[in-house]
Structures are given as structure tokens and as C-alpha cells.
Amino acid sequence: MKKYLYGFKLYFLNSFTYRFNTVISLLLGNVRLLIVVFFWVLIYSGDMQKSLGGFTLPGMITYLVFMDVFSSVIYGLRNSGLIYSGMIKTGSLGPALLKPQSLSISVYFRNLSGGLTGQIPQMLLVICVIPFAARFLVWDPSLTNTAFILAFLLIGTVSTHLVCSFLGYMAFWFEESTSVLWSFMVILNVLTGFFLPLDFFPKWSIPVLEVLPFSSWGYIQAKIFIGLYPLEKQVFLLFAQLVWIGALLLIHTVIWEKGVKKYSSVGG
């Protein structure tokens, strides 16, 4: 595990190498979020008591801000598909397989470091704004909720890595897989509740969407933070997500083995 943590440290520090990019990220990282918040304030007409999809305006603003915070941690793991696709297409997968380490774990920690550094602009916004906007926000930061949020964040990073790795493995069978990968990413953004809370979907679909692995990519954490999930629901969703992790690991192993065999057979 030491070598993976050391790699994580190197990639984390490398993210700050290009200082101009870091400054631009800090300045512009929250522009999209501020525009979205302003958009929803207009929809609610500034009415603090109005409820849409089970969210009041303070609840919606809190959801948007912390969905952005939580999903930004997980967002870096989406690069797993691009990394695998690039390695397969360039032929660099072969040398990587010869290294005395798990390629999947190495890629996971590499992208986790990127997710954590990418989350810094959102955290700076929260730290700067909350003292002045606390009365407009709604949250329930109990010790139990915090523990569940951290657990779901860990699960979310793992499931994101596994799902996006599957998409990257398409390069074993398709010459041009990047466009397909990005198309899937757009669909997954909708299923994660990133653009719109899943509560605005048809009522019959919400219980299904909540137990899919994509809901742990920020949606569940944001709703727990707001206090919209009772403890029993949190335990149920945690169990469901752990079952998904087991299933995704099994699928990951099967697809990877088939892909590597095909890669070797064509002399990649």
C-alpha cells in the first residue's frame, strides 16, 4: 500500500506545479455553481417558503453547493476511462502490466488525488460564504450523518472508478471509444443528480435511481447533509451501494481479463 500512497502524494503535489492553472481554477472554479444558484433563485422567485420537489429555496441552494463539493471529490475518478483508453490505444498498457503493482489501484489513487485538488475551489467558496449565508442554508451536520457522508464518499470514488474503467475498456474492442465514453458521461451526469436533483424525476423512478451506484456520486451525500434521509434510509442505501461495489468488482475482473487477452492476441 505504501507505493500507492506515495504515488498519490506525487500526483497530488504535481497538481500544483502549474501555478497559473491553479490560480485560474481557484478564481473560475465556482462560476458555474454561482450561475446555477442564481438560476434557481429566479425559479423560486426568491420565496424562502416555496417548495419544489421537496426542496425549499434554502434547501435547494444547500443541495447545489454541497452536491458540487461532494461530486468534485469524485469527479477526478472519471478520468479512469480516459487513462485506460489512452493506454490501450498508444500501446503503453503493455509496459504498465509488467510493473509490480496493481494497475487498477494505481490509477484509482492517481485520479483520487486529482479529485481532491479539484475540490479546493468549492471548499474555499464554502469557507468564505457560509459565515455570511448560514441563515439561507439548511443542514444537519450530526456525527452520524458525517460518518455516513464519508462512507458514501469512499464508496462513490470506488464505484466511479470501476464504472468509468468499464467505459475505457471499450478501447479493447473499438478503435474510437473516446466519443462513446463522453456520451455516456453526459447520461451519467443526469443520473447522478448533478444537473437536477433526482427528486424531480417521476416518483416511480426515484426509488430505483437512489439504489443505482450513480446516486453515490454526490446525490446521497448532499441529501444526508441537508437532513432529508432518516438513519434507516441511510443504512439501506449503504447496504445497496456495498452490494453494487461487489457486483462492479466482479464485472470489472471479467471484462478486464477478456480485454487483456484480446490485447495480447493482437500484439498490443
Mean pLDDT for the chain? 80
> 254 and 169 in contact (C-beta within 8 Å)?
no
The reported pLDDT for the residue numbered 216 is 92
Residue 130, helix vs strand vs coil:
helix
Q: Find the domain containing 32 and state its range.
A: 2-265
Q: Which single residue is written with the C-alpha cell 491553479?
A: 22
Q: What is the CA radius of gyration of the chain?
A: 20
Cα 222 from Cα 170, distance rounded (Å): 32
133 pLDDT exceeds 90?
A: no
Q: Which single residue is written with the C-alpha cell 464518499?
A: 153
Q: Which residue has the higher pLDDT, 214 or 105?
A: 214
8 pLDDT exceeds 60?
A: no
> Tell me: the pLDDT tens digits for 218-252?
899 999 988 889 999 999 999 999 999 999 999 98
Per the structure, the count of domains in the chain is 1
Cα 172 from Cα 258, distance rounded (Å): 9
Q: Which single residue is written with the C-alpha cell 434557481?
A: 40
Alpha helices in the chain (DSSP H): 2-14, 19-28, 31-43, 57-75, 79-90, 93-98, 103-118, 120-133, 143-168, 178-191, 206-211, 219-226, 231-265
Q: Is 202 exposed, middle or buried (0-12, 13-18, 19+ CB in 10 A)?
A: exposed
Identity of the residue numbered 201: F
Q: pTM here?
A: 0.83
Cα 238 from Cα 228, distance rounded (Å): 15
Q: Which residue has the higher pLDDT, 265 or 108?
A: 108
The reported pLDDT for the residue numbered 21 is 55
Query: Under 8 Å CB-to-CB from 78, ≥6 apart: which residues?
Result: 111, 160, 164, 185
Q: Which residue has the higher pLDDT, 2 or 65?
A: 65
**Residue length of the chain:** 268
Give the pLDDT mean for 129-134.
64
> Tell me: the pLDDT tens digits for 142-191?
889 999 999 999 999 999 999 989 888 888 887 766 777 777 877 888 88
Cα 171 from Cα 83, distance rounded (Å): 11
> 213 and 163 in contact (C-beta within 8 Å)?
yes
> Tell me: the pLDDT tens digits for 44-64?
887 778 888 888 888 888 888
